[in-house]
Structure 1
C-alpha cells in the first residue's frame, strides 16, 4: 500500500434537511406487544435519531458507481473507476489498496430541530409513526405495521473531511463530491425510498481549509467556491 503525503484537509460542513419522513433502521432489545415494528437508529446518549456516516458513504459511492460504471452491470468495488476508489478507498485485499480520502461522520439532529419537534408533541420523542398496511393479493389477508420515521423538516449537522493529497486530482475529486451530493438529493436515503421516504436536501454548504504542509491554498479556495457552493 502506498500512503501519500498529507498536505491539508478540506472540511465541508452544512445541514441536511429531511424533506419527507426518513427511516434508517435501528435495533431494539425486545419487542413488546403493540410496539413499533421498525424503529429508527438513535444516538445512545441523547436518544436522538442519527444519520450514520456509513449510510451516507455507502449511498454516495453506490450512486456514483452507477453513473460511472463502464459496464451495464456494476463491478466489484476494487474494479471501479479510479476517481471513486480515491474518494472511498478499496478493500484491504485489493492489489492496489487505496485509503479513502473522504472521512464521514455520524450526523446528529440539531438542537433546534429537537426543540421544534418536541413542541409539536409527536407520536414518540422527536419521531413520528407511519401506519402502513400490506394486503396479500391471493389471500386478501392484511398485514398492518407501524414504521417509526424522522419527520419532514428535521435537520442534521453535516460534516465531511477530504484529505488533500494530490493537487492534480483536486478538481476532479471536488466535482465528484458535488455530483454525489446532488445524486443523493435526487434519490433517497434509508428504507422505503420508493414509497416516498428519505428525501433529503443539503443546505448552507461551507468549507474550511487546514494546512499541514505548503500547497496552493488559493487554488483550493477557488475550486471549493466554484464547485461546492454552486
Structure 2
C-alpha cells in the first residue's frame, strides 16, 4: 500500500453560539467558574482540541451509518465488520480508513487490517484566529464569557443549584485544518468527510448542545488551496453515505 499524496483541508470554524469544551478541572475556586473551558497553558487562550472534533465527527458518522447498535455503543472496530449487513460494510470500511480502527480485535482480523490500512485523517487543534483576538483586545473584551445557570423548582418556582459555566462566545473564529493521506487504490473518501462536517454544523460541538451550546459553521474551506465549501453545503440527508 503506497502513500501517493497528503491533502490539506483548511478553513475557518466560526461559533454561532457559546462553546464549552471543558478543561477537566474539577477543583472549585472562590470567585471562579464551576466549569472552565480548556485553554493553552502558555497563552491562556481557549482552543478546540483536534480530538474533540475527530471524536464528535466519528460518532456522528457512526450514527449516520447505523452501526452503533452493532458495536453496542463502542467505537467501530475491525471486529465489528463481519456483523454488519453486507450493504453497510463498504461505507464502514471507509470510516475505518478515515478514522482508524479500535485496537481491540485487530490481531484476530489481520486480513481486514491489511486491506484497510493506516488512518487517513489527522485532526489538528484549532487555535483562535489572531485577527479575532485583536478585535476583542481593541474593544477591551474578554476571550471567554461566564454563563450562569440553575434548576427551577417546578412547584415553588424558585431557582436552585446555581452554577457558572465558562464559554467561548458566539462570533469567535478558529483556524480549522486537517490532513488526508491518500493511498494507491483508495476509493473516494472525501464525500464522507463532507458529510461529517455537515453533521457537525447541524449538531454542534462540545457540551450542552441540547441547550444551545456549540452551534458552528465552516467557511473558507479549501482543499490544497481549492474552494470546497460547496461540497459541504450540498450534502443532503435521507440517503446512504
Q: Shorter-chain TM-score category?
A: 0.7 to 0.9
Query: Of 20, 25, 35, which aligns to 1:23?
Result: 20
Query: Of 129, 137, 145, which aligns to 1:128?
Result: 145
Partner of 1:118: 137
- Structure 1 residue 153 and structure 2 residue 166: aligned? no
User: How big is the alpha-carbon RMSD for the aligned residues of Structure 1 and Structure 2?
Assistant: 2.6
Could you tell me how far apart the structure 2 residues matched to 1:120 and 1:147 are? 23
Could you tell me how far apart the structure 2 residues matched to 1:229 and 1:167 are? 28
Task: Give the Å deviation of 1:31.
Answer: 2.5
Task: Give the Å deviation of 1:83.
Answer: 1.3
Query: Of 81, 94, 97, which aligns to 1:83?
Result: 94
Could you tell me how far apart the structure 2 residues matched to 1:43 and 1:51 are? 10
Change (3 A) 1:54 1:128: same
Q: Give SS of 1:64's match.
A: helix
- Structure 1 residue 184 and structure 2 residue 200: aligned? yes
Could you tell me how far apart the structure 2 residues matched to 1:45 and 1:153 are? 23
Change (3 A) 1:130 1:8: same
Task: Give the Å deviation of 1:135.
Answer: 3.2
Compute the TM-score of the two structures, normalised by the length of structure 1.
Answer: 0.82
Q: Is the contact between residue 198 and residue 232 of structure 2 (CA under 8 Å) also seen in structure 1?
A: no
Which region of structure 1 is more displaced relative to structure 2, 134-143 or 109-118?
134-143
Task: Give the Å deviation of 1:28.
Answer: 3.7
Could you tell me how far apart the structure 2 residues matched to 1:128 and 1:108 are? 17
Instruction: Provide the aligned length of Structure 1 versus Structure 2.
Output: 210
Compute the TM-score of the two structures, normalised by the length of structure 2.
Answer: 0.78
Task: Give the Å deviation of 1:101.
Answer: 0.4
Which region of structure 1 is more displaced relative to structure 2, 112-121 or 96-105?
112-121
Task: Give the Å deviation of 1:43.
Answer: 1.0
Q: In structure 1, list runs of 5 or more residues that go unmatched.
A: 210-220
